Amino acid sequence: MSAEGLHARGLCRTFAGPDGGLAVLTGADMDLAAGEAGAIIGPSGSGKSTLLHLIGALDKPDGGTISLDGVNPLKLDANGLADYRNRQVGFVFQDHHLLPQLTVLENVLSPAWANGGKATREIGDRARALIERVGMGNRINHFPSQLSGGERQRVAVARSLVMAPRLLLADEPTGNLDSRTAAEVGSLLLEMGREKPCRLLVVTHSLELAARFPKVYRMVDGRLVSAEPGVLA
Ligand SMILES: Nc1ncnc2c1ncn2[C@@H]1O[C@H](COP(=O)(O)OP(=O)(O)OP(=O)(O)O)[C@@H](O)[C@H]1O
Ligand SMILES: [Mg+2]
């Protein structure tokens, strides 16, 4: 197993509930080489978001290991963990999660302000370049309420990449969009994922979107099973 890339082994997560524990992940394994893009499909409630939260260190597993380019987020101290969440990993959610009181540019810059940080000139330049790149260059001073759903999601993609993460995690990024806009945002994510050194891991209900990824996993009984992209759609 190469230290490069994302590797998860035996991830387990059980949630406490009124009727006992709910074993959502029971030993999930996955590998994403450097430069590889992967999709995860599976029924509602099967544990896809749970898995993404573990990989993004927003939640901790009950067992198993994670390695992102040789770094195990489960072994980091508080500072290391804040850095991992803020710099090593970018997140795009189903609902853009943009801050309504901030402009497009400010939203894209906002990860730089986490933990008392500042937007350096380099981050400012990258923010502007990313906003151009997602086709929103003429809207930088607009507020999210002035944008369409697809435009907001494109801004969210730009924001997720502003810290130049090693890994971009997207949880149903096209779930709230019409099929044409969803295809556009899907293309944008795939293009961004190809631009090294970022890798891309997308959870989606759309078999059409999943079929465009070189690597596809299906969540089955708390584990990940490889699926053939070609036979999905
Ligand atoms: N914090 C929590 N406490 C208790 N149960 C939880 C918690 N988070 C998730 N679950 C449960 O774990 C299961 C998996 O949830 P998860 O959100 O990972 O599913 P999913 O595959 O992303 O589904 P969807 O496609 O609907 O988004 C669900 O049954 C959910 O209710
Ligand atoms: Mg989910």
| Exposure class string for 127-152: b at 16+ Cβ within 10 A, else e | bbebbebbebeebbeebbeebebbbb
How far away, in angstroms, is 49 Cα from ligand 1 center? 7
Residue 144 identity: P
How far away, in angstroms, is 58 Cα from ligand 1 center? 14
Q: Where are the domains of the chain?
A: 6-228
User: Which CATH superfamily does the domain covering 6-228 fall into?
Assistant: P-loop containing nucleotide triphosphate hydrolases (3.40.50.300)
- State the pLDDT at residue 197: 62
Residue nearest to atom 26 of ligand 1 (CA): 44
Confidence class for position 229, pLDDT limits 50, 70, 90: low
Ligand 1 pocket check for 222: Cβ under 6 Å: no
pLDDT of 3 over the 90 cut: no
Ligand 1 pocket check for 50: Cβ under 6 Å: yes
From the list 184, 223, 220, the residue with the least C-alpha distance to 209 is: 184
Ligand 1 pocket check for 18: Cβ under 6 Å: no
- Per the prediction, the chain carries an average pLDDT of 92
Cα–Cα distances (Å) from 155 to 88, 101, 125, 150, in that order, read 19, 14, 15, 9
Q: What is the pTM of this model?
A: 0.92
Quick one: tokens of 109? 């810059």
- State the pLDDT at residue 104: 98
Q: pLDDT tens across 153-194, in order?
A: 999 999 999 999 999 999 999 988 888 888 988 998 898 878
pLDDT of 233 over the 90 cut: no
Q: What share of the chain is helix, strand, coil (3-state, %, to 5)?
A: 40, 25, 35
Ligand 1 pocket check for 24: Cβ under 6 Å: yes
Are 32 and 201 contacting, i.e. CB atoms less than 8 angstroms apart?
Answer: yes
Over residues 135-155, mean pLDDT: 95
From the list 40, 98, 80, 67, the residue with the least C-alpha distance to 225 is: 40
From the list 34, 39, 28, the residue with the least C-alpha distance to 69 is: 34
